[in-house]
Amino acid sequence: MPLRHHTLVAWRRADDLFITLHKLTLNKFPSYERFELGSQTRRAAFSVAANIVEGCAREHKQERLQMLNTSRASLAEVGYCLHVAHRLKYLDNEEFSALDLAVRQVAAPLTGFIEAVRTGKAK
């Protein structure tokens, strides 16, 4: 039986986003950024998926919502890290646009899941 978070579109997309950003920051960012902006981007992206997992494992609704809201905040941080990387010219316009879309594609189902938990439509 799969774990609950495996059924969530938001988690699957967040997991894919983390893998993409992990590889990108290690391979595309300047070496001196691997421990600064690259590391922060990886940690924030990891937090998005990890907090969805932890939220799904929480027994009480308020704890679940707290973890899911932390996930959403980490996703906003990922968006800012990408914005900075673009401004610093580590990402070209096409790369930034694709990654920005990926962030929004995580945000939409995550926001929907948070609302479903909040209103009691999801457990």
pLDDT digits (tens, 9 = 90+) for 36-70: 999 999 999 999 999 999 999 999 999 999 999 99
Which pLDDT value is given to residue 1? 41
Stretches in the chain below the pLDDT threshold 50: 1
Contacts of residues 92-95 at CB distance under 8 Å and 24 or more positions apart, as own/partner, are 95/24
Q: What is the pTM of this model?
A: 0.94
Q: Which CATH number is 90's domain given? A: 1.20.1440.60
Q: How far apart are CA 8 and CA 102, in angstroms?
A: 16
Domain region containing 11: 4-119
Domains identified in the chain, total number: 1
Q: Structure tokens of 38?
A: 């690259």
